[in-house]
């Protein structure tokens, strides 16, 4: 099946995930690429339940979910799974029968198309999360949330069809979503370097929790169509990519 669902941030929130999977059950697709802040939070009871409930619904509908790491994941667990978990032939790590983690920087092929993904973003609420940890709550922040320069500059200059990132470009038409935080600006510059290097036809991202649909001039003569998705099962939090036509259609169904 040449169609792929692209899913925005889910934050380990089961009602939103259930809504998305139920709304899309009649659509002819198998694979879901989730673009970060999936909610790998399995050091908590609710986090384990989210994984179990999501996996059962995926099994029921015959779907498989491939999650990209965001800035709100348990990166201790994520990295342990990547290092020790069972791998698919495409290099994904299985954490449930129908849920797979995507490495931090990864390339694969589906339907004779070239897919590429880059994890991470900077948390603008880092200090608040560290304060909650000091107050005795479970760990809330991991430095591994950000992709690093050496990971970005090690990417081969080979063009890809599709790029999936959690963070967005520094050239994004912000409206009310600009985060002037220094770490965020530096991280977005790394995403711009990826865009310049692989020059994808389409780029999908989460993190901003707002719909974006615009053309990004990533080099002097190459433009990339970029889609930003909202979150938690809301309108425009997911859509369907047709890999035969390169068309992407947002979900516009009401909550």
Topology (CATH) of 3-250: Purple Acid Phosphatase; chain A, domain 2 (3.60.21)
Smallest CA-to-CA distance from 91 within 106, 112, 71 is with 106
Domain ranges of the chain: 3-250
Residue 1 has what pLDDT? Answer: 65
- Rounded to an integer, the average pLDDT of 133-157 is 92
Name the more confident of 141 and 35: 35
CB–CB of 74/41 below 8 Å? yes
Per-residue pLDDT, averaged over 70-89, amounts to 97
SS3 label, residue 227: strand
List, for residues 27-37, the tens digit of each pLDDT value.
Answer: 999 999 999 99
Give the pLDDT score at 253: 62
Q: What are 7's two structure tokens?
A: 């899913």
What pLDDT score does 254 carry?
Answer: 52
Token pair recorded at residue 223: 């433009």
Could you tell me which of 123, 128, 168 has the C-alpha nearest to residue 143?
123
Q: Across residues 202-210, what is the average pLDDT? A: 97
């Amino acid at each position: 099946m040449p169609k792929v669902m692209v899913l925005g941030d889910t934050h380990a929130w089961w009602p939103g995930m259930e809504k998305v999977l139920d709304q899309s059950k009649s659509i002819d697709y198998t694979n879901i690429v989730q673009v970060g802040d999936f909610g790998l939070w399995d050091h908590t009871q609710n986090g384990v339940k989210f994984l179990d409930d999501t996996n059962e619904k995926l099994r029921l509908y015959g779907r498989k979910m491939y999650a990209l790491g965001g800035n709100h994941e348990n990166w201790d667990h994520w990295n342990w799974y990547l290092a020790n978990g069972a791998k698919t032939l495409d290099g994904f790590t299985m954490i449930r029968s129908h849920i797979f983690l995507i490495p931090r920087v990864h390339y694969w092929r589906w339907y004779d198309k070239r897919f590429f993904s880059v994890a991470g973003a900077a948390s603008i609420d880092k200090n608040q999360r560290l304060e909650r940890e000091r107050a005795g709550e479970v760990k809330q922040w991991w430095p591994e949330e950000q992709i690093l320069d050496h990971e970005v500059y090690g990417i081969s200059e080979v063009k890809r069809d599709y790029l999936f990132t959690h963070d967005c470009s520094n050239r994004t038409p912000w409206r009310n979503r600009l985060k002037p935080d220094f770490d965020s600006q530096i991280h977005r510059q790394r995403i711009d370097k990826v865009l310049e290097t692989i020059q994808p036809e389409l780029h999908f991202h989460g993190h901003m929790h707002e719909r974006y649909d615009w053309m990004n001039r990533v080099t002097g003569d190459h433009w990339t169509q970029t889609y930003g998705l909202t979150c938690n099962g809301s309108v425009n939090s997911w859509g369907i990519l047709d890999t035969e036509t390169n068309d992407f259609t947002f979900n516009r169904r009401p909550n």
